[in-house]
């Protein structure tokens, strides 16, 4: 069994590399993500108003699709957050003095390691949820359902990826990314743009750690990062020290030069030539 396990390591590693390469081709640009958030934010109030008037499943699923597009393009949350979200958890959302709301969902696949998965909302964003709950009981299956995202049989809604794709096309955005594509994109942009300390905070909010992100989500270096790394290789071959010690040495050298300059200025200002000669000797 050990021999079989060892023989599988190389094929598995090659497969993982190919999977990451395929993800790289599907990374959604920061511009597209921001455009998605802007369009979804503008459309959600109108879609919610239409849903309240018509109370049809088609408009209900459209509303769900826009919510998923908006918050997933922002936080990169998995679909499990939405399908497991309870009405009780939405109603018990915490609000601070600044008017920000926090919805905490207890049921998700990594709750043992990371606790509840959370979603931060502004007052307007939370209004989308609270207004929906006002007429939820009038929708098919809404009267008995304990979940915020539900179907006509009062059970969890599991077809969220399809509704995400539909609203993505409605907004006229390029390609049709999945939840995984959006999550991978968010993690990749976080890795490329934020320092390590901020990356850890973002990873905790997304209910994973940096090692998980680097192994399963983060993509290869971008051209700028690769160029910086190349410069480090060249510095090593040329014998240039880029460490903190080199910076301290440069600082010490600079202080010595300033001190020598001060001594030179004192000697030049002397009125006695003999003293000047003695100092130089």
Strand partners, 105: 117
Asked if residue 171 belongs to a domain, the reply is: yes
Nearest C-alpha neighbor of 254 from the set 246, 242, 265: 246
**Whole-angstrom distance, CA of residue 30 vs CA of residue 27:** 9
Asked if residue 12 belongs to a domain, the reply is: no
The tokens for 14 are 């090659």
Q: What is the distance, to the nearest Å, from the Cα of residue 50 to the centroid of all Cα atoms in its chain? A: 32
- 174, 102 Cβ separation under 8 angstroms: no
**Do 228 and 177 share a structural domain?**
no
Nearest C-alpha neighbor of 167 from the set 78, 52, 58: 58
Asked if residue 13 belongs to a domain, the reply is: no
Q: Is 270 helix (H, G, I), strand (E, B) or coil?
A: coil
Query: Residue 170: its pLDDT value, please?
Result: 96
Residue 97 φ/ψ, nearest 5 degrees: -70, -25
Residues of the chain with pLDDT under 70: 13-26, 107-115, 196, 199-227, 229-230, 233, 240-281
Asked if residue 108 belongs to a domain, the reply is: yes
- 180, 26 Cβ separation under 8 angstroms: no
Number of domains in the chain: 2
**Do 258 and 163 share a structural domain?**
no
Find the CATH number of the domain harbouring 33. 1.10.443
Residue tagged 């998995």 (tokens)? 78
**Do 264 and 183 share a structural domain?**
no
Query: Residue 274: its pLDDT value, please?
Result: 47
**Do 251 and 160 share a structural domain?**
no
**Do 258 and 210 share a structural domain?**
no
Asked if residue 257 belongs to a domain, the reply is: yes
Vertex 143 angle, CA 138 and 146, to 5°:
130
pLDDT digits (tens, 9 = 90+) for 140-167: 999 999 999 999 999 989 899 999 999 9
**Do 157 and 109 share a structural domain?**
yes
Tell me what the pLDDT averaged over the chain comes to.
78
Which residue range forms the structural domain that includes residue 163? 22-217
Query: Residue 32: its pLDDT value, please?
Result: 94
Query: Residue 9: its pLDDT value, please?
Result: 76
**Do 194 and 266 share a structural domain?**
no
The tokens for 199 are 């990356």
Q: Is 139 helix (H, G, I), strand (E, B) or coil?
A: coil
């Amino acid at each position: 069994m050990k021999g079989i396990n060892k023989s599988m390591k190389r094929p598995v590693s090659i497969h993982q590399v190919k999977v990451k390469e395929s993800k790289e081709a599907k990374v959604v640009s920061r511009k597209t993500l921001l455009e998605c958030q802007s369009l979804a934010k503008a459309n959600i109030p109108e879609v919610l108003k239409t849903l309240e008037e018509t109370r049809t499943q088609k408009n209900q699923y459209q509303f769900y699709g826009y919510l998923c597009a908006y918050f997933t393009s922002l936080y990169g949350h998995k679909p499990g957050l939405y399908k497991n979200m309870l009405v009780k958890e939405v109603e018990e959302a915490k609000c601070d003095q600044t008017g920000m709301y926090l919805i905490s969902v207890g049921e998700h696949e990594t709750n043992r390691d990371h606790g509840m998965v959370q979603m931060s909302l502004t007052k307007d964003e939370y209004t989308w949820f609270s207004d929906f709950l006002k007429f939820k009981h009038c929708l098919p299956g809404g009267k008995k359902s304990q979940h915020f995202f539900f179907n006509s049989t009062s059970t969890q809604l599991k077809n969220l990826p399809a509704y995400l794709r539909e609203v993505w096309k409605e907004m006229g955005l390029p390609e049709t990314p999945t939840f995984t594509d959006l999550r991978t994109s968010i993690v990749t942009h976080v890795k490329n743009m934020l320092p390590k300390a901020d990356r850890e905070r973002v990873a905790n909010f997304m209910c994973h750690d940096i090692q998980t992100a680097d192994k399963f989500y983060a993509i290869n270096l971008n051209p700028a990062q690769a160029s910086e790394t190349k410069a480090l290789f060249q510095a090593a071959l040329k014998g240039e020290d880029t460490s903190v010690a080199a910076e301290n040495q440069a600082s010490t050298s600079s202080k010595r030069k300033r001190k020598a300059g001060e001594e030179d200025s004192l000697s030049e200002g002397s009125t006695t030539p003999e003293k000047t000669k003695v100092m130089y000797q």
